[in-house]
Structure 1
């Protein structure tokens, strides 16, 4: 089989930047990546399993063979407090990559959360522990531990390439992976966008309408739409 590669060290995005990223939303980060020429926004299949959870931290990655989660466990053992474990199962629905035992260890170790391209299980127990989980599937099939793969290598996750140390931010809207070298610029731009939206909110509370604030009024006018001072089914 193909040689497995496990890298023991990760060049992580700075902890201070992760703290700033927790103050912004995935939506604002996504809208602040235009200069990159691509988006790190994961597919809509990636869903939050833990209600209310929001995380930001450096990626620790694991690539697992179908029906096996040995490499996830190796990555979990190497992960540090504040890390986000990002797992890709080559057999997406073949077996659960994550469950209650891994969650217990992750909580004790202080991980920020886990993002799984694949299945998770023991959801009730995981939620009771308050751990942050995103995944593409929930499925209770047990995983074996006997196949290789990779740890702390670039991996695909829900249509996005994730590199070890990248900034991972996840909330109720989804998950975004931002390259470590670009993370500061993207977070700063997202913070500026949130400040502008806060100004909009203050204006709305002062009586302004979203119709004008958003520019919808100008876009609507340019379309030359015909309005009628009547109901569509009024008698002729």
Structure 2
């Protein structure tokens, strides 16, 4: 078996800033739906990836950091090459051993103008992080001591909570979850989100005018077509 090669790439392919600005108008739900059913699911992290503050949002290009389990050298290397507006995407494979992220790193990231951190692994110093008002998502919370010996890799493709993340992919996060949009799909996601948002304006207007979602979405006709019976009674009536 080959040993893991430690490497730090200082640059990433950067997404179109105009597309980022358009995407910033939407939440994770709209962008997820805008990608379509298949890509949307492939790009969405699981509910294990939790926001550690309420009401925070972020969007920006991914700076990736692969950390050996129990070690967080790579996150410090990532902090060295990240630029304002970037999102740190950190992983150690998802174990809780060795906190990947804490308040000291968080304070520096905020000072540098980074957009936030998405951590597959443990974060700690949560109260202090909340006071810093810096957006953080993680799959675990643990204070366990991390080593800083490597190996480490920065700005290489990684798998984070089941989602493939390449450096420069667009990371979107809010209270609903974390979505990673490949750069090649960013325009598709934004176009889809804009269409969805416009359609929902019309749906809300219909509801305000007295229409029912059951009819707006065609569910009444659909259950008839599927042969689903609607009975004017309770389930005890069929005993």
Provide structure 1 residue ranges, at least 5 long, that are not aligned to the other structure: none
- In structure 1, distance between residues paired with 2:9 and 2:186: 22
TM (normalized to structure 2)?
Answer: 0.92
CA contact (8 A) 2:9 2:154 kept: yes
1:164 paired to 2:167? yes
- In structure 2, distance between residues paired with 1:123 and 1:218: 50
What is the CA-CA distance between 1:42 and the residue it aligns to? 1.1
- In structure 2, distance between residues paired with 1:101 and 1:137: 18
- In structure 2, distance between residues paired with 1:90 and 1:224: 47
Q: 2:216 aligns with which of 200, 213, 225?
A: 213
How is 1:93-132 mapped onto 2 (pairs within 5 angstroms)? Answer: 93-132=96-135
Provide structure 2 residue ranges, at least 5 long, that are not aligned to the other structure: none
- In structure 1, distance between residues paired with 2:143 and 2:219: 47
SS at match of 1:81: coil
1:228 paired to 2:237? no
- Change over 3 Å in CA distance of 1:186–1:91 after alignment to 2: closer
Q: How many residues were matched structurally? A: 236
Q: 1 or 2, which has the higher helix percentage? A: 2
SS at match of 2:183: coil
Partner of 2:59: 56
- In structure 2, distance between residues paired with 1:169 and 1:228: 44
CA contact (8 A) 2:93 2:160 kept: no
Q: 2:180 aligns with which of 157, 177, 182?
A: 177
- Change over 3 Å in CA distance of 1:217–1:234 after alignment to 2: closer
